[in-house]
Structure 1
Amino acid sequence: MFTAARPGRTSGAVPDAPPVPEVGMDRLVERHGLPLVVLDIGRAARQYRALRSAFPSVDVHYDVSALSHPALVSAITADGGSFVVSHDGALEAITRARIDLARVLHATAVVHPHEVLAAYNAGVRRFIVDGTADVEKFVGYPDDLRLLLRLRSDDPARGAHALPRGIRPLDALRTVRFAASLGVRVSGFSLNVPPEATPQLYVARIARVVALMADIEAVVGCRFDSIDLGDAFPGTAAVSVADRAELAKAIRAILAPATSRLSVTASASRAVTADCITVIAGTIERDVDPLLASDCMDEGAGVAVIGDDGLEAGAAPGDTRPSLLPFFRSVAHTGHRILRTGRRPQTWSSAG
């Protein structure tokens, strides 16, 4: 049936179980046809739980911009998990799931004041902003607002392909004072760490921002209560058990004196969805990037969901005729795609 089986790419998460075997893929294709996107939601939920277990002092948020399938959002919600929205449209996926938006960290670049107001009125209370222009949009908001300033990355490789986001550490004091002059309280800072960050790099960045916060507190007389370790958490610790232990130990050591008053968050995406998405269209492509999978669904690929028990959703043990799940297709929205019910076109080819 399959013309080739391409080897999977290097996983972005600590292995917890082998992927669905090829014979299992064979059966899914027999039931649903080609092309097909297979989402191992059970594995993604386990990988999210493993991150939370490895970093108990960090409130690990899942970035729904990586994969916003309702089954995964529901699984993380059931575990008491939290979410981050980092692209336009991601908040819509969370809102449709009817979860408490107080568990959402809004990290999308803010453009219009009405977007801020809509998110706040929906229940979001925590926002990451990139500078003084964003701070001005929060003038007059109630005291339950939690505003974090994103610190600009000093990694040249990142800046070479995109405009830098956030403020320079040298401008942090001025920005906090500016916010205070408007009656807006800054709760803390968000790091900007590259996806390939090692525990050593994380430790250096965390120590630097903790020192920065202490200096500003001494000068301004304010009190910070939040620090966000950024997106792509936990860097290389996503694939190395040793790195996880080292990073977790370092986080506890650096932040221990402030744990009674400091909330520590972080955002994970590929560490959750790695090895969870397979595309079948004559060939088998494992560990597919979520955005590529969304492209496939845009072109009409069906979707099969594997649950926590390794079975396709809707199937009982030994059941060879599970019901076909509702089809989900994705819609482009400024660099983000949301899975939603829709029609099913006829063909798609991984070749192109």
Structure 2
Amino acid sequence: MTKPDLKSLIQSFQDATQYWVNNLNNEDITKLKASKVSKPLDELLKLVKLVKAHTTKVGIIFKPDTLEKQEQPAYNTLEKLSESLVFTTSVVSQLHSEQQISKIFYQEILSQVRLLIESNVELANELMTIYQEKTDEGRLVSVGKIWSNCDSLVTLLENGPLALLTNKIKLSVTLIEDGFDEFSEWAKNPEDMDDAFGFSDEDDEEDAENEEELDEQQLNKLIEFAKKWVKKIELVKLLISSFKKSLPKTTTSSQVDEIYDLQKNLTNLIDKFIVELMLNREETREIELIKNDITKNSIKLAKLAESIHKDDKKSSWYSTWITKYD
């Protein structure tokens, strides 16, 4: 039996990992052959654990002193890692073609698998350096990255789409809270915070001094409107926060995506509303459009939650929320 050409395998590994990185996106993933396993998510979880195990073995055997004596075992170990990655990309391609899981779950899987392959591109380059230069100085930094990538994917796959949705909602609530506290203070007396966003500089000071103050009627009207929307935004924040608690396992993939899209839209709309009102200090046509969109999306989200929880007492909470908001 002839001695395996380890250098040739490393070169193939470099080419393959770069090819996968280039095609692991929504536009090009169909170029990757899709697997046909019955339970792709379970299979992907097994493969990610295998990738981590094989990477560990690669990290152990790819030492200059070891390679000279164990080129055949090194070849076999790298070949197994490469095969595991081939199957991993094939399962992700199957998930894309079948579209049986929620879009946000699939997108997160795709993103994390791409990061995993990018770390393997680094690994391939490091392996070639070790093989050619026979030095392990600063070697295999990528192994730690691959372990981290695998751990993140295992957590994602084991926790599932509802946990992912919960994490994204927590982020949205944080984003709303960032601007809401200041808006609540501003709403008490808008004229005490003329430059709420810190936009003014020395060149703007003269313009700020010449800016007309609101008369008493305008100010009272603005305060009344702002305080009304402080309460409404509090309610919307409460609505979105309610999804941080466990959703029933019967929640479908399409419902997960719809919840995500609605709460994301609401987060953006609330941010726009606050900025527009604090800058313009009056109810403009733009603000009218934004507040209508907030109301429409909020009611839609609450009714969706009402339907998801139709067989338990939490459904009435959403019914009450709609009454209070209106």
Structure ranking higher in helix proportion = 2
Q: In terms of Rg, which structure is larger?
A: 2
Larger RCO (CA within 8 A; separation ≥ 6): 1
Please report the TM-score for the alignment, with normalisation by the length of structure 2: 0.25
- Write 1 or 2 for the structure with the bigger share of strand: 1
TM-score, normalized by length of structure 1? 0.24
